[in-house]
Amino acid sequence: MATETDGAGESRFPSEPQHTTGRDLAGLAIALGLFALAILIWWDASSYPARRNYAQVGPEIFPYVVAAGLVVFGFLTVRLAILSEFPERSEMNWPPVGWIVGAVVAEITLLSIGAGFILASGALFGLSARGMGRRPVWFTILVGVCISAFLYILFRHGLGLSLRAGPLERLIDSPFRR
C-alpha cells in the first residue's frame, strides 16, 4: 500500500519507520488506547450497586457491551497495525498544531483567571492565526481582540448569550446599563 502513491507520497520522509518495518507503531498505540478505555469502562461498571428488577439487568449492562466491543475492535486494530493497513499519512507539520493547541490552552487559562471573554478569545484568535502562518503575533492578537469585542457586543447584548466578563467587558457593559 505504501509503494503505490501519487503526489502526496513524495513529501514523505524516506525513513518513516512504520513503512520500512511494515508495522505501524502509532496504530498499536491506538489499540492500546482502546484497551485502556475498555478497562476503564468495565472497572466503572463493576462498581455499581446490584439492583433486582424485572429487567434482570441494571445500568451496568450497556457499559459491559460497549467495553466488550472496544476490546474486539482493539484486537482488530492491532491486526490493522501489523498489516500496515492504515491509510497514508502525510508528513506531520508540528509547529502550527502546537500553536493552535496553545491558543486553546491560553483561552482556558485566561478565562479561569478572570481576564474576561474578549482578552481570552482575542488570544485564541491571535495565536491560532499566527499558527496558520500570519505574522507578527502582536498584530494577530490585536485583530483578535477587536473581533472578539465585536462578537461580545453582538452575542452578549444582541442575543443574550452569557459570556464571562472581565475588566474590558465591564467597561463595554457600562453604557448598556442604565
Partner 1 sequence: MDTFSLLLNGLAVAAEPMNLLFALIGVILGTAVGVMPGIGPALTVALLLPVSLSFGATGSLIMFAGIYYGGMYGGAISSILLNTPGETASIMTAVEGNKMARDGRGGKALGAAAIGSFFGGSFATLGLAVVAPFMVMVALSFGPAEYFALMVLSFMTVSAAFGGSIIRGLTALFLGLAIGLVGIDKLTGQARLAFGVAELRDNISIAIVAVGLFAVGETLYIASQKHNIGEKVEAIKGSVWLTLADLKRCIKPYLRGTLLGFSFGPLPTGGAEIPTFLSYSTERKTAKGVAKEEFEGPKGAIEGVAGPEAANNASAAGTLIPLLTLGLPTSATAAIMLAGFQQYGLQPGPLLFTNNPDIVWGLVASLFIANVMLVVLNLPFVGVWVKLLMIPRPWLYAGILTFATLGIVGAEGSVFALVLLLAFGLLGFLMRRFGYPLAPVLVGTILGPLAEEQLRRGLMINRGDWTFLFTSPIALTIYAIAFAAVLGPVIWRAMQPKGANTAFAMDGD
- Residue 163 in the binding site for partner 1 (CB under 8 A): yes
Nearer CB in complex with partner 1: 27/168:
27
Do 2 and 84 contact (CB within 8 A), yes or no? Answer: yes
Among 3, 56, 176, 177, binds partner 1 (CB under 8 A): 56
- Residue 126 in the binding site for partner 1 (CB under 8 A): yes
Strands (E), 34-76: none
**How far, in Å, CA of 126 to CA of 112, rounded?**
19
Do 107 and 124 contact (CB within 8 A), yes or no? Answer: yes
- Residue 155 in the binding site for partner 1 (CB under 8 A): yes
- Residue 104 in the binding site for partner 1 (CB under 8 A): yes
**How far, in Å, CA of 127 to CA of 136, rounded?**
10
CB of 32 to partner 1, least distance (A): 13
- Residue 97 in the binding site for partner 1 (CB under 8 A): yes
Among 19, 115, 128, 169, binds partner 1 (CB under 8 A): 128
**How far, in Å, CA of 29 to CA of 178, rounded?**
58
CB of 177 to partner 1, least distance (A): 20
- Residue 106 in the binding site for partner 1 (CB under 8 A): no
Do 48 and 54 contact (CB within 8 A), yes or no? Answer: no
- Residue 118 in the binding site for partner 1 (CB under 8 A): no
